[in-house]
Amino acid sequence: MCGIVGVVGHQKAESFILEGLRRLEYRGYDSAGLGVIDRAGKLHRLRAAGKVQALADKIPAGLGGTTAVGHTRWATHGAASDDNAHPHMAGRVLVVHNGIIENFKSLREELAARGRTFSSQTDTEVVAHLIDQEMQSGKDPVEAFRAVLPRLQGAFALGVLIDGESSFIMGARKGAPLIAGMGEDEGYLGSDPLALSGHARRIMFLEDGDMVIIRKGAIEAFDRDGARVERALVPAETSHVLAEKGNHRHFMEKEIHEQPEMIGRTVSHYVDAFENRVHDISGLDFRGASRLVIVGCGTAAYAGEIARYWFGSLARLAVEVEIASEFRYRDPVFLPGDIALFISQSGETADTLEAMRLAAAAGVQTLALVNTAHSTIAREASLVVPTLAGPEIGVASTKAFTCQLSALACLAVLAGRHRGHLDRAQEAGHVASLLAAPGLMVRAIESEDEIEKLAQGIAGYPTVLYLGRNQYFPLALEAALKLKEISYIHAEGYAAGELKHGPIALIEEGMPVIVIAPHDALFDKTRSSIQQVASRGAHVIALTDPDGASALAGEAARIVTLPSGSQLTSVLLFASAVQLLAYHVAVYKGTDVDQPRNLAKSVTVE
C-alpha cells in the first residue's frame, strides 16, 4: 500500500514527514518523496528511488519547512525511478497520489494537445497538470481542485500543495483511504492513522467522495457534490495497532475496504497501462506448456479453481487444480512441459511448500504466487509472481484473495497472447477491463449497507447454501468457507447445475440460499436453479448485476445489485459482496471476526 502523510503549520515539517514515512515502511515501497513549503513560501520537491533514508539524505540542512506532504510509492504506472517517484508537479501544483486514475491516457492526450509536456510515466502527473490548467484559467486553488475531481475515474487518494500557499493542504478520496487530523497547532493529512499516531489529537475519517481543506486551526470537508459537510472529529488512538484499524471495527472490515487500492496496485504491476498490454515475465513462457498445475490450500485453492476457467477460455491451456495436502501425498504424475503454480498468501504454508518441493524435484518449473516477497516459497520457486495486497491481519483472507485473482487474470491474458489465442485488440480489451476493476470495486462495496441488512436474517439459521455456475461455482465454495470460518454457521457451496443430483434434498422452508447470478451466457440456467429452490420454500438472495436484477424481479426474495463487470472482473465484485455478507453475519453473532476459533493466519504445520 502506498503511503501519504502531510502537515500544515509545523515548525519542522520535513522532519515530521520523514517520521511518518518511516512508520509506513513496513507496507512496502520502492521510492519516496516529499514537497515542503519553507517559511518564505517557496515550494521544494525532493524524491529518491529506494528507501526513505535515501530521501532523508537529500534534504538540505536548515530547510525550515512549515507545510509539507510526503509519499512512499510502489511502482505502478512507470518504473521505480526518481522521475516517477511522487510528488509530481505542474506549474505551482504539487500532488501525491495513492491508487489509479483509470482515464489518465485520455486526459494526458488532451493535455498534450494543449501544449503540456510530461516528465514521468505516471498517471499521477495528469492530476497536477489538470489543477494547474484550471488555475491558469483564473480559478483559485480550491476551485481548481474541486473542478478537477469529477474528471478523475478510478480509485484514488490525493494530497495537494500549492507553491506560495503555506497555510493549507488539500486532499480528496475515492475508494482509497484518507484521513484529516488536528493537533495543538497543526493540521494533518494521512492515508493511515498510524502515520499520525502520537501527533494528531483528533482524527476525521473522510467518506468516499470527500474533498478536504486542512489549515492550522480548521478542517473544511465537502462531499462528492461539493456541498460543505460536517464530519466528526474523534480522539486519535495512541496505540499503533488501534491506529492501524482506522475507523473500522475489525481488520477484516478494513481489508475488505482496501481492496480497490490493492487490486489496482497488483494489476498495475503486471500491465502496461499506456499500451493496454501485459508485461512479459522473464523466464515465463506459456507457448510450449503442456499443462498448468495450480496448487494451494483453502482460499488459495479456490482462487486457482476460478483461474482454471480463465486459462482454458483465453489460452486453451489445460489446467489441473490441486489441494496441496492431497497433492503431496498421492505420488503425482508430471508431464513434459508442465508448469506448476503454487499460491500462498504467507509464502510459508507447509503443505504448499512441500508440494512445490516435490514438483521441483521432478524438474518442473515452479511459480510462486505469494504476498510475501521474502518467504520460503518465494525463495525456493523458479519464479515469483507477486500479489501486492499489503499486510493482511484478519485470519479470513479477503484482499489477498482478490489480489490473487487479479494476478491470475493477468497471467491468463499473458498465456492467451503467448499461445496465439488472443490478438492485440482482445488483449487490450481485457487489460482495460482489469484497470477499471478498482473503480468498479468501489461501487460494489457501496452495497454494504444493503448487505448488512441481510445479515440478521441469515445469522439465525444453522445452514446456508451458496450456488454458482462456471467461475462462480468456486466463488460459491469460497463464500461458504468465509461464512463458516468467521460466523461458525454450517455453509456449503454447490455448482447450481448439481442441485438435482442431491443437494436439493437439503432445501427446506426459509433456508437461506445465496445465488451468484450475473447476467451472463449461463444466466437462464442459473435462473432455473433459483426457481427450483424458491418453489421448495428457500429464502433466495440473488447477487447479480443490473440486467440480472431486472430479470429476477419477483423471483428472488432479496436482490443485491452490483456493477456489471467483464469476464475477468465480475468475480472480484461478487467476491467483495460475499465477504461483506460473511463479515456482517459474524459481527451480528458476536464472534471474534479477526481471530476465529481454532484457526491461524499462516498454516505452517500439517
| 425-437 per-position pLDDT tens digit | 999 999 999 999 9
Who wins on pLDDT, 503 or 239? Answer: 503
Domains 3-247 and 255-439 agree in fold: no
Q: How far apart are CA 192 and CA 195, in angstroms?
A: 6
> Residue 321's pLDDT is what?
97
Cβ contacts of 557-560, under 8 Å, gap ≥ 24 = 558/454, 560/447, 560/450, 560/451, 560/454
Q: Which CATH number applies to 255-439? A: 3.40.50.10490
Q: What separation in angstroms does the CA of 20 have from each of 17, 76, 261, 339?
A: 5, 22, 20, 43
Q: What angle do CA 587, 590, 594 make, to 5 degrees?
A: 65
Mean pLDDT of 114-140: 94
Nine cell digits for residue 178: 484518507
Q: What pLDDT does residue 127 have?
A: 97
Cα 176 from Cα 393, distance rounded (Å): 18
Q: For 210-233, how does the pLDDT look when each residue is reduced to its tens digit (9 = 90+)?
A: 999 999 889 999 999 999 999 988
Beta strands in 260-351, from DSSP E residues, in sequence order: 271-272, 277-278, 291-296, 319-323, 338-344
The whole-number average pLDDT for the span 535-563 is: 95
Please state the three-class secondary structure of 370-424 as a single string.
ECCCCCHHHHHCCEECCCCCCCCCCCCCCHHHHHHHHHHHHHHHHHHHHCCCCCH
Collapsing DSSP states into helix, strand and coil, what is residue 11? coil
- pLDDT digit string (tens) for 342-378? 999 989 888 999 999 999 999 999 999 999 888 889 9
44: number of Cβ within 10 Å: 17
Distance CA 255, CA 262 (A): 9
Q: What architecture does CATH give domain 3-247?
A: 4-Layer Sandwich (3.60)
Model pLDDT for residues 12-68, shown as the tens digit of each residue: 899 999 998 888 776 667 888 999 998 888 999 999 888 889 998 998 887 888 899
Cα(566)–Cα(405) distance, integer angstroms: 13
Cis peptide before 87 (omega within 30 of 0): yes
Q: Give the phi and the psi of residue 286 in degrees, each rounded to 5.
A: -85, -5
124 and 191 Cβ atoms separated by less than 8 Å: no
CB neighbours of residue 546 within 10 Å: 12
Coil, strand or helix at 226: coil
What CA–CA distance (Å, rounded) separates 179 from 201?
13
Cross-strand bridge partners of residue 65:
38
Q: What share of the chain in percent tops pLDDT 90? A: 72
206 touches 179 (CB < 8 A): yes
Average pLDDT rounded to a whole number, residues 180-189: 91
pLDDT range class, residue 11, cuts 50, 70, 90: confident
Beta-ladder partners of 155? 100
So what's the pLDDT on residue 485?
95
- What is the predicted pLDDT for the residue at 350? 87
Catalytic residue among 2, 297, 403, 410: 2
The pLDDT of 493-514, averaged and rounded, is: 91
Average pLDDT, the chain: 92
Domain map (residue ranges) of the chain: 3-247, 255-439, 442-589
Query: Does residue 176 register a pLDDT over 70?
Result: yes
- Contacts for 502 with CB less than 8 Å, ≥ 6 apart: none
User: Does residue 403 carry a catalytic annotation?
Assistant: no
Measured between alpha carbons, how far is 65 from 161 in angstroms, rounded to an integer?
13
Q: What is the pLDDT of residue 235?
A: 86
Q: What is the pLDDT of residue 29?
A: 74
Res 503: pLDDT: 85
Indicate the Cα dihedral angle 27, 32, 35, 36, nearest 10°: 80
Cell of 11: 515548525
Cα 405–chain centre separation: 11
For residue 148, give Cα distances in angstroms to 134, 226, 391, 405. 8, 12, 32, 32
The dihedral sign for the CA sequence 457, 462, 466, 467: negative
User: Higher model confidence: residue 120 or residue 410?
Assistant: 410
Burial classification of residue 510, based on how many CB atoms lie within 10 Å of its CB (0-12 exposed, 13-18 middle, 19 or more buried):
exposed
pLDDT digits (tens, 9 = 90+) for 296-308: 999 999 999 999 9
Reply yes or no on whether the pLDDT at 384 is more than 80: yes
What is the Cα gyration radius of the chain?
A: 24
Which residue is listed with cell 511459480?
367
pLDDT grade for 603, boundaries at 50, 70 and 90: low
Using pLDDT thresholds of 50, 70 and 90, give the confidence band for residue 144: very high
CB 144 within 8 A of CB 162: no
> Distance (Å, rounded) from C-alpha 243 to C-alpha 241?
5
Instruction: Quickly tell me which residue has 510459508 as its cell.
Output: 348
Q: How much of the chain exceeds pLDDT 70, in percent?
A: 97
Catalytic residue selected from 139, 484, 589, 601: 601
User: Does 601 have pLDDT greater than 70?
Assistant: no
Helix (H, G, I), strand (E, B) or coil at 347: coil
Which pLDDT tens digit goes with each residue over 57-105? 998 887 888 899 999 887 777 777 888 888 999 999 999 998 889 899 9
Our answer to whether residue 482 is catalytic in this structure is no
Q: Among 2.60.120.1440, 3.30.9.10, 3.40.50.10490, 1.25.40.10, name the CATH number for the domain at 442-589.
A: 3.40.50.10490
Tell me the one-letter amino acid at 21.
L
**Mean pLDDT calculated for residue range 113-128:** 93
Q: What is the pLDDT of residue 1?
A: 47
- Residue 161 sits at φ, ψ, to 5 deg, of -115, 155
**Measured in whole angstroms, how far is the alpha carbon of residue 428 from the centre of its chain?**
21
